[in-house]
A and B are shown apart, each in its own frame.
Chain A
């Protein structure tokens, strides 16, 4: 992360956004839909990376933040009849609030205990969703009705179920979060987070309040993940408890490890790569969990820095 090249970094990120925009017009239908979904989930990965990559806190419970956004937005539409922007904000607010509470509790622990505590809170969240099946739909989940998924400004209205609108909405969310992440990482605050990751005691000794810095990071990370969940509910119209299960806490970890922890574009690269590997493999076998498992082990054994992390180390030192 050298200082010399802010222009280069911003150019690269804008280039990626432009490429994704251009892809919208050339991709066949199937990949067009898949990429929209991947962009929303890449936001989830970027939120996870904020905490795991930059602060070095490995959470095994981020599914709860994604699910808080998912259910916050979905249930607001289904039970309260709120419109799309309000429901989206409700989802984000749920995630931010949950992240604040979890952060206050879980940050009292470190290392292995932090992983287990976050996993347990996520498990509680998952069980609570199942327990209140009357409102959440339990195992089955709920479908957000199509007429409710319309974004209207005065006379004009955008139907979020239309593939192009959906793709562009996902791209908009992705771009905003990508640029916010880049700005945070390059800011003073971002460098404090890296300092906490590298040596918390020394950072404390230099006069930084590491607890509140970490707490802010948990809230930012949880909020980004909730934004991804809320967008998922509104764009794809399904809200289900499987998104709160342990598996959805492991997946963002896998995507980030694959793409490269502490790289801004790692979340996108990892998600795209893993989605396509599973997509191609599922043409041959239904055992896609096997691939996830093998990928996790091979990654920690041979590529602990991930794709972009390795590229940064070998060739492009300026990569943010």
Chain B
């Protein structure tokens, strides 16, 4: 294969990564933006989404499409319920203190990971894609399902943006993010907004995982990489900025896809992580964000 088509393939793979990453990172970014909580267990909600997708799609007989669609609806709901429970039982009692919540979410990370290992096992298991149509390009055939992931993710991102900017719920969320005390004074149930945002963040990660699981298998350690990449995206995009998050996700996903085709993936990770740490040290508001208050 020539260089051009090879690059196109790498770019397509990168876009699929970006699409999933944007959804996952958006969840992390919302939780940080509104609640000022760094959720280290975010990657585990992603993993739970994938593992539940496997469980649901194998439990439902018949055509794989039925199982997949059921997983796409049910898995995020279950993950959201678990996140809601964790928020009520732990984070709220800590008064959302930033340092205490980090330690607590590290604890959640270990608990969820260990429970997944105990009940799901150490194997990586595949989920059948809902359809297996191949799009034939002049140089190579490409999975239609992968392209549909990009479309689905774009749709969800637009929907989230509309909810945030055009609806009353979005207005309440933005008010809480801007100044939670004043919001409380104006009768906004800040406490319930926090609970909802935490559940929503986890659900976004779970949806991303259900979308990706037909091409990358479910495994109990699969939450690690998305967590690190989401951190990178959220930091580069500016904490709590939706537009920055999407731009950064496309940037990181594309460069990750292209760099790992041509160079060693470990080296790519080293460079990316180091660059991000430097961004955080020298430009803490992110590359696209405005100065934080």
Interface residue ranges, A against B (CB under 8 Å): 58, 60, 105-106, 108-109, 111-113, 115-117, 120-121, 123-124, 127-128, 130-131, 250, 253, 257, 287, 289-290, 292-297, 299-301, 304
Contacts and interface: CB of A to CB of B under 8 A. Distances in A.
Given A58-B99, A106-B281, A293-B106, 13 more contacts: A105-B278, A109-B281, A116-B280, A120-B274, A123-B228, A123-B273, A124-B277, A287-B114, A290-B110, A290-B111, A296-B106, A297-B90, A300-B104
B270 A290 contact: no
Contact of B104 (A120, A289, A297): A297
15 contacts: A112-B38, A112-B102, A113-B280, A113-B284, A120-B276, A124-B270, A128-B270, A131-B266, A289-B110, A290-B115, A293-B108, A299-B103, A300-B94, A300-B100, A301-B93
A7 B114 CA distance: 47
B99 A108 contact: no
Nearest to B115: A290
A253 B235 CA distance: 24
A295 B103 CA distance: 10
Given A130-B266, A131-B267, A287-B117, A116 B273 contact: no
Given A109-B284, A115-B102, A257-B103, A120 B277 contact: yes
Contacts of B274: 120, 124
B98 A294 contact: no
Contacts, number: 101
Contacts of B117: 287
Contacts of A113: 280, 284
A293 B282 contact: no
B281 A290 contact: no
B-side interface mostly: helix
B266 A127 contact: yes
Contact of B107 (A60, A128, A293): A293
A115 B235 CA distance: 13
Q: Closest 4 interchain pairs by CB?
A: A293-B110, A296-B107, A293-B111, A297-B107
Contact of B281 (A117, A299, A301, A304): A117
A287 B121 CA distance: 12
A296 B93 CA distance: 14
Interface string B157-195: 000000000000000000000000000000000000000
A20 B270 CA distance: 42
Interface size class of B (residues with CB under 8 A): 35 or more
Given A112-B38, A301-B90, A304-B100, A293 B114 contact: yes
A253 B113 CA distance: 19
A124 B114 CA distance: 25
A262 B267 CA distance: 39
B118 interface: yes
B100 A297 contact: no
Contacts of A250: 106
Contacts of B103: 253, 257, 296, 299-300
A253 B266 CA distance: 27
A127 B270 contact: yes
A168 to B, nearest CB: 35
A121 B114 CA distance: 26
Given A117-B280, A293-B108, A296-B103, A301 B94 contact: yes
Contact of A296 (B36, B104, B231, B280): B104
A130 B273 CA distance: 15
A9 to B, nearest CB: 28
A238 to B, nearest CB: 22
Nearest to A295: B107
B109 interface: yes
Contacts of B106: 250, 293, 296
Nearest to B112: A293
Contacts of B282: 108
Nearest to A299: B103
B269 interface: yes
Contacts of A112: 36, 38, 98, 102
A120 B111 CA distance: 23
Contacts of A124: 270, 273-274, 277
